[in-house]
Structure 1
């Protein structure tokens, strides 16, 4: 299985040594183990660029490289790096804001909402808040030291908070996680009972900041990298034996889809660094790139299955894991519902997009 970096930059423009080869090797060693993925995340935190700081393409290449080799590594590292970026945007130094005594914190970002559950924040003093309720989709909450969590401060307003996940008022529900994809990254609900929290930004800041859209594109970079990892298995198969016309057809179609999606991702990185992906333009860019890459992933999963048949799914543990992991991971894109949201945004603008 290939352990090579995934590039968005042309060969002549790639840095001589940016550590991506070492990143790929470290991701291979993770092999679906969340503990090793957390160790890797900590090691990357100080070296991987933040989005919008002039090296966003390097960030996306790092995320894609992780995902092409091991999706558990990418899933865990992306959240950790996103949390560090959020703290950076809030002008908070992670080393100076840690609560709960951890010297090497590992971070998650829990911002999903779910039917029938709600997390509320109440102020108990100057800059003192407490959280009560249930938050769904809290990945690795039982293994992380800290998290950034959105909670309701009113009926219609949410705010971001920092919490130490060792707080005795926290109950992590790992028993509900039955997924065959990313099985070592349980993402069940977490119950909060009078949990101390520190606000990060003002009401609504988490969703308004430019980095919200940029973080969404970073997740798409992971999806794209995972699809590259699947397509590399097809590439290996056509080198192992003389391919027929059907195999070559799938290989060509995979190249078209992945190259187009990679080009969009590279262009998004350029727009972010140029300051052209803020406000409404940033939201549109994220919706378009995520939609394109999600469709690409679904096409790649189908084509690799057609090209390779059942054998890798049955006898190649890394390939079988990658398929299951990627199918779950890409469902963070809400398919037709996200298409509706994009269509509504375009219509409300009143400006033809083409």
Structure 2
């Protein structure tokens, strides 16, 4: 197998006028890696290597490559996305690149009932408490955990295989993203390494670009469904005006998302220095737009493909279930309200 990804392959984001309907070749090296039965850590590290994803990879390339993975299998994109996030966080904080055979998660969920605090014991940084929604904690090797410190929130790198780190091993009944169990993890004075200064993790402008990276994965999953639905429609015999209409609606919706992502990719990788507030306002606009469009693309794809795809095509049915769960993790109306609040605050400042 070739060890490098073909960087000249069609670009969904940076070339929004190019065709989108081509179904990935099942014999391609990327498809073989995504659909392999390799253990989670091996699959993550192999894909990161093949796709040349490092802590220095441009935002646009991250979004493009994760999008194409999600179009093949949303669950695999959901595995890889936090690893890419962690690589970028470590690089931005000035840390050396981690062992290429390590696979990382980022655990930032903040629930009142599940809190992790960070404390210092001599020259050692220790984590104490329980963190919720820790995806793949029983399988990954490392994670960046956001913990509460006396001086603010702290990002801490931790070895998930340390004996003082205890992931929950209970059931994960979800039908969507069933290969991404997301239980809690207990840290019993687990040793860790601080990554960046206090409050740095949330204050970075790149935190916003990471939010868009997740939205690109949503879109990739919806694009995969749309490709399959379009392929099924093209093979039908006889006229199908309703199907043609749905395909046209899909095309317009997909073009709109591609255009939005293309515009913000230029901003994320451009020369302009964005403040965290400015970048996050862009992220809220993009995430909300992509979220609503992806919901519609998912619905149109189901209607165009018909019940036979949902009941007889395992990959299509899995994509539908995976995407439903993935989208449910979006903050939806709260993010829309946050965007409106930011805009009102700007208006108030303009009047001063």
Structure 1 residue runs of 4 or more that deviate by more than 6 Å after TM superposition: none
Correspondence 1:316 to 2:313? yes
Correspondence 1:295 to 2:298? no
CA apart distance, 1:93: 0.9
The answer to whether the Cα contact below 8 Å between 1:30 and 1:73 also exists between their aligned partners in 2 is: no
The answer to whether the Cα contact below 8 Å between 1:34 and 1:185 also exists between their aligned partners in 2 is: no
2:104 to 107, 120, 140: 107
CA apart distance, 1:176: 4.1
TM-score normalized by the length of structure 1: 0.86
User: Which residue number in structure 1 is paired with residue 343 of structure 2?
Assistant: 346
For 1:36 and 1:243, the matched residues in 2 are separated by 47
Can you give the 5+ residue segments of structure 2 that lack an aligned partner in the other structure? 1-8, 19-24
User: Which residue number in structure 2 is paired with residue 283 of structure 1?
Assistant: 280
> Structure 1's 169 and 49: CA in aligned 2 closer, same or farther, altered over 3 A?
closer
1:133 to 129, 132, 135: 129
User: Which residue number in structure 2 is paired with residue 59 of structure 1?
Assistant: 62
User: Which residue number in structure 2 is paired with residue 17 of structure 1?
Assistant: none
2:35 to 29, 34, 38: 29
> Structure 1's 272 and 148: CA in aligned 2 closer, same or farther, altered over 3 A?
same
- CA offsets 1:218-241 (integer angstroms, 9 cap, x no match): 111111111100100121022111
For 1:352 and 1:319, the matched residues in 2 are separated by 49
Aligned partner of residue 193 in structure 1, secondary structure: strand
CA apart distance, 1:32: 10
User: Which residue number in structure 2 is paired with residue 193 of structure 1?
Assistant: 188
TM-score normalized by the length of structure 2: 0.87
Can you give the 5+ residue segments of structure 1 that lack an aligned partner in the other structure? 14-19
Q: Which moved more, 1:4-13 or 1:239-248?
A: 4-13
Aligned partner of residue 137 in structure 1, secondary structure: strand
Correspondence 1:152 to 2:148? yes
For 1:32 and 1:268, the matched residues in 2 are separated by 34
For 1:11 and 1:345, the matched residues in 2 are separated by 29
User: Which residue number in structure 2 is paired with residue 78 of structure 1?
Assistant: 81
User: Which residue number in structure 1 is paired with residue 322 of structure 2?
Assistant: 325
CA apart distance, 1:351: 7.0
Aligned partner of residue 151 in structure 1, secondary structure: strand
CA apart distance, 1:160: 0.2
CA RMSD of the aligned region, Å?
2.6
Task: Give the count of matched residue pairs.
Answer: 333
